[in-house]
Structure 1
Amino acid sequence: MARPRKITTPQVEEVVQETETVIEAPVAHEPVEVKKETKKKDEWEIKARQYYLAGSKSPITFTLASKHTPRHPLLWFDEKTNTQREIRYATNQKSCFVDEQNGSVTLEHIVFKDGVLNVPKEKQSLQKLLSIYHPHNGRLYNEFDPVQEAEYGLEDLEIELDAMTAAREIDIDHAEAILRAESGSGVSKMTSKEIRRDLMVMAKTNPRLFISLAMDDNIQLRNFAIKAAEQGIIRLSQDQRTFTWASNGRKLMTVPFEEHPYSAMASFFKTDEGMEIFSSIEKKLM
């Protein structure tokens, strides 16, 4: 069991430098012109596009707001004119902006089926409304991007691989501490092989949570305090506010308000007084 240590986090000052392109003046004493580099927007690609609802739910049908109403405002701020422009989907118009639509309009609902909406390349007005101008883009729905999805998939696989590798190499005390944070006191009745198995399963099914717990500096100290309580060395009061010695009832520490008692005990072990208590408990643990 690693001994607790005091941790001081150095303050890091982040300096962000803005890159500028400086054009030298061709004539002496002429003022220098400074121009900032700006990225050009990607050209719009004519292709079929797919959109999917955000979140895990996929209702049979979901109707997205397709015209401006007081309840569902559909407005897009035009930075060139500094005005709010009303948008709506009309099947017989080239533009989704109301001020660019002429004559009678044929309005149509925008309906997702089973959480998905496929828009063919012929419906450019609808695609631009959904991809560029609709205020619910990125909130209620997203556009499917195969390149981005591949990047996310690769990142998930790499995180899972890192978690599985760490779970295989981690020592048994650390493994027990991680599982106890999720499974509770039931870990005490498990064999080392059962702990190893459940840890590997956790690393595979929830690698981000596993890595977060594995990197938590307090996780082993929390486990140490829980084991001490389970073996009757220390006692936590019924109101979860005070730790005492089980043998004589002498108070060890008071848990700060709205803080998890064993997390507070782990932090306490890093103090000068806490280190002495930690050493005393360590000698009594079986």
Structure 2
Amino acid sequence: MPPRANLFDFHGVSMVHYFTDNWEKIQNFKARPDDILIATYPKAGTTWASYILDLLYFSHKQPDRQTSAPIHERVPFLEIQIPCFPTGTELADSLETSPRLIKTHLPVQLVPKSFWEQNCRVVYVARNAKDNAVSYFHFDRMNHAHPEPGDWNGYLQRFIEGKMVFGSWYDHVTGWWERKQSHPNIHYMFFEDMVEDTGREINKLCSFLGTTSTADEKEQIRAMSQFDNMKKDDMANYSTVPIMDFKISPFMRKGKVGDWKNHFTVAQSEEFDEDYKKKMKNTTLQFRTEV
């Protein structure tokens, strides 16, 4: 396992070196007009959206694709650079698919400008803050590329302050939401909607992307992308990634809405809600914490 990284300020966003070491190549990345960027705050449904998009575009053209390569090779993580592995930009540059599916956790202001210049389509997935914080906490416990999370109480405080890898949840979700208002090429999805009715959200995605999947194909994709199926799938569940310690927690833990109730005390929840109202008062963006 690599040593745990330390958090530092990077252009006003908390980061670790694994996502900034390759910065020049990230910023100069050459997007193509048909690239699709899958953007999220960490632990908001990134792998789920990546998996659905991968199936939508390639399940009929390359039926063995889902079993022959892990999702992080099929949908490279643009900003990652971990020693002894190809960087995210190298993996993205070596993709031979059209479209190329590329994932990022960067806040909107740090996305390489070629994605905007080429008018690429972006699928953004957002998840309510409480569940996102819980999921991120368990992820940080098992992911050695991130700082040690400590106990839940201290962690929640840092989440509120935005001292997380990839910065503040509040800035991230609202930054992308604001950008969407002027960029029709951003499709903004909610994790809670995906849990509530995956089929409906796949239909919306197809309308946005202009794909011509049949009702049968969409139903098959809906069934394949159910959480329990993906959790068992070694090509989707990140069990092949050496920096993650599955003995501590699986990468795909519950995939539920409302698990925050098993972690937040009443006092924590009230304090969180108070702060949340202040931070979110100037946005039209709204979340559900239960479905």
Bin for the TM-score computed over the shorter chain: under 0.3
Larger relative contact order (CA 8 Å, sep ≥ 6): 2
User: TM (normalized to structure 2)?
Assistant: 0.18
User: TM (normalized to structure 1)?
Assistant: 0.18
More strand by share: 1
More helix by share: 2
Task: Find the structure with the greater CA-based Rg.
Answer: 1
